[in-house]
Amino acid sequence: MIDMASGQGGQIQVNNISGYLPGRIVFFLVNTHLTPRPILLTRHGESRDNVRGRIGGDTALSEAGGLYAKKLANFVEKRLKSERTASIWTSTLQRTILTASPIVGFPKIQWRALDEINAGVCDGMTYEEIKKNMPEEYESRKKDKLRYRYPRGESYLDVIQRLEPVIIELERQRAPVVVISHQAVLRALYAYFADRPLKEIPHIEVPLHTIIEIQMGVTGVQEKRYKLMD
């Protein structure tokens, strides 16, 4: 039995819990709180592969991407100047690490779970190349983007599953967090906090050079978007 006793200082009483799923529910509940704090989500600055229209890869930033990194640093340092316990989370790919590089004064943590969806054998290709050389894969992805898994790669459902520890850690945080990641990953994270349906995740708009600020608190979740570049 799980008894969330609001009359006892918000205590959670747990009795006779067994099994994987009940255990995960308890773990999630004890790591969740309603302390107001912002979570800032943003994609990395434009990469060289973005310019070429190639998916995946691990290229550096374009000139525009480098400019965004500087603008992001200025925004974060002003927005969180009184929040010195804030932290910056990135993936392990260099385009997110380079985007975070100009930000100073905050600890930076790399998460492999924040890496972009693994495109498998399609990594480094354009969608036109996939359509031409792998038409069956192209059509399969088009029909069911949520469940489609790249050959030797991942599906959106795989990404959602690997984000579980990130989400739990975000729920645990009492200080602001800036998450610099990738389109598929941020679609999934945004959907979790904004309570969007699973089927919508692959189609959520997460544009480059835009910050999505999610304010967590007792009154629920509020959202603001900041477009730093035209």
Would you name the residues annotated as active-site residues? 43-44, 50, 95, 116, 182
Could you tell me if 66 and 101 are in contact, meaning their C-beta atoms sit under 8 angstroms apart? no
Q: Copy the structure tokens of residue 211.
A: 């910050």
Nearest to 186 by CA among 99, 74, 90: 90
Q: Is 44 annotated as a binding residue?
A: yes
Q: Is 112 annotated as a binding residue?
A: no
Nearest to 168 by CA among 71, 35, 32, 76: 32
Q: Cα(first)–Cα(last) distance of the chain, in Å?
A: 53
Q: Is 50 annotated as a binding residue?
A: yes
Q: Is 49 annotated as a binding residue?
A: yes
Q: Is 43 annotated as a binding residue?
A: yes
Q: Is 225 annotated as a binding residue?
A: no
Q: Is 45 annotated as a binding residue?
A: yes
Q: Is 230 annotated as a binding residue?
A: no
Q: Is 203 annotated as a binding residue?
A: no
What's the alpha-carbon Rg for the chain, to the nearest Å?
19
* Helical ranges in the chain per DSSP H: 20-30, 48-52, 63-79, 94-100, 127-133, 135-143, 156-162, 164-172, 183-194
Binding site members: 43-50, 95
- Name the binding residues for substrate: 43-50, 95
